[in-house]
Amino acid sequence: MKKYLIIACAAALVALSFGTISCSSGKPTLHVYTWADYLDPDVVKDFEKANGCRVVLDYFDSNETMYAKIKAGASGYDVIFPTSYQAAIMYQEGLLHQLNHDALANRASIDPKYLKRNAIDAGMLYSVPYMLGTTGIGYRADVLPDLKPSWSVFLNPVVKGRSTLLNDMRETMGAALLSLGYSVNSVEESEIAAAAEVVKQWKREIAKFENEQYKPGLASGEFLLVHGYSGDISQVIADNPDANIRYVLPEEGFMVWCDDMVIPADAPNVELAEAFLDFFMDPAIAARNMEFTLYKAPNQSAYALVSEELKNDPSVFVPDELMEKSDTVRLIGDAITLYSKYWDQIKASE
């Protein structure tokens, strides 16, 4: 888990906070809990300058990690970046602040097509969308030149011991459900149990469940096949142009997801947090973050501001015909206990 080390130039001693070293500078401080490599550092600096504040970043590598920490009572965060379904759970449990729309003028830029087709919080009652992405397969085309875009590739003997699956219950079990022709939001125990058996088969072939190291592993060739997020793999491709790495969406179907920006119910700096949300919804800022993350901000006014290269990247702007094969993780009520039950069995299996 990455951290930023922020060291004062003043003579005061530094204080430990949220696993990040910070100090008193006389400026208000905004504490942000987000995914790694998800905010353009120059954009963050611009926000600090515009608002006369400091931003301290802390990182999580899965929704489950973040949620467990917040649920256990971690406080002091002003903005968090959960995936939409996790944000909905947090709101239902009273963990999120209801948004003041008067402070969020740039919400008018959010793509109405996204809100209608994919959003859980379509009215932006407690969240605003940040980045939209897909979950698919990254692979080394030099070793797998004829790879079939299918979830079944995790059983390919060529990649035995050199592939990874996401350490994410809904993503990985969702992939197995899709491979069987089921919805990622199935509430039928027979279907969930069948998906668990598929994941157990995959587990016997992979190196590990992993959410971060699959990126350098794919770049170095340690891993030949990974289950991962579109922007992560696009960044690996951009940073390693000679590595012959590709990203595909499985023919049986794939996940589309959105990470949102939310304000915790106990946020100490609500007004500054609202300014942060509005700033990051500004079309010019959204476009800069799209270029940095290689994900798509569902911000209709930002689309014209990105490079032609990004506009023409099908892993970012997924063609409509492919989107027909997508599914989005949603709330499933009490059925979530079934997923947890079978995920525990998967983790305990050999």
Per-residue model confidence as pLDDT tens digits over 172-209: 999 999 999 999 999 999 999 999 999 999 999 999 99
What pLDDT sits at residue 12? 34
pLDDT at 16 over 50: no
- Classify each residue of 237-256 as buried b or exposed e, where b means 16 or more C-beta atoms within 10 Å of its C-beta: beebeebebbbbbbebbbbb
Boundaries of domain holding 281: 15-132+258-317
Write down the mean pLDDT value for the chain.
Answer: 92
User: Where residue 25 falls among pLDDT bands split at 50, 70, 90?
Assistant: low
Read off the pLDDT of each residue in 141-169 and give the average, rounded to a whole number: 96
Predicted TM-score of the model (pTM): 0.84
Cα separation, 121 vs 107, whole angstroms: 13
Q: Is residue 7 part of a domain?
A: no
Q: Is residue 29 part of a domain?
A: yes
User: Where residue 320 falls among pLDDT bands split at 50, 70, 90?
Assistant: confident
Are residues 175 and 121 located together in one domain of the fold? no
pLDDT at 307 over 70: yes
Are residues 269 and 234 located together in one domain of the fold? no
Read off the pLDDT of each residue in 290-306 and give the average, rounded to a whole number: 97
Are residues 145 and 237 located together in one domain of the fold? yes
Read off the pLDDT of each residue in 138-167 and give the average, rounded to a whole number: 96
Are residues 224 and 275 located together in one domain of the fold? no
Structure tokens at 145: 């030149």
Q: Is residue 37 part of a domain?
A: yes
* CATH number reported for the structural domain that contains residue 224 in this entry: 3.40.190.10
Structure tokens at 39: 């905010």
**CB 245, CB 140: distance < 8 Å:** yes
